[in-house]
Structure 1
């Protein structure tokens, strides 16, 4: 049980939590002497976890986040984060997110978000009213079943 708990702490994703719960319930069913009613309850819990994993996870549940300096170019961000930010290659991330936030009618502040097709840019840090770090949130491409 301790190994599953460590895995859940190391990889904090919904998929890992479901996997750890599946292992824990399965181990309890196999190791302990339980009644038929307890076995039925354990099997129902496992079925509910499988149904949750199959039907309640969406593409946006799994994201990848990378924090970069606002002075980084769009070309380097596209290459490192494997995304497509629609801006000129020599523009900086700070410029792109600032322009997008202002165009949307919001003020530039920590947490301000600029969304694109396969990613979003979030203002991560501001110093002296200047954006210093930008978080790139990449929506992972998952194949539909």
Structure 2
């Protein structure tokens, strides 16, 4: 759910967009419990509505679990690919640096190969690996 804020005065209307906010698993649980706790006792929530919200809760829970598993799979694939670079010859995208990979460092935003001579190459588009 994206949330944006609007600020301004009567004479000068301006708007600014805040950073997008998402409802995570814990926030969803808090909202559901608060809704159940604050419902009108003389007109309780319809049972079909309650079942629909429980189904939504289950769907959110499964989505969170799937995302966690996908993150684990991506991390394992990155490690496997990075390990395959060691001992191979690599050339930078501009062709200025070349050599045999002695070690690989994995960062959240990419992979950096360290050559036997100490030079480092960011593994990305245009890099040649032999």
TM-score by length of 2: 0.35
Using CA pairs under 8 Å that are at least 6 residues apart, name the structure with larger relative contact order, 1 or 2.
1
TM-score, normalization: structure 1? 0.32
Q: Find the structure with the greater CA-based Rg.
A: 2
Pick the structure with more helix per residue: 1
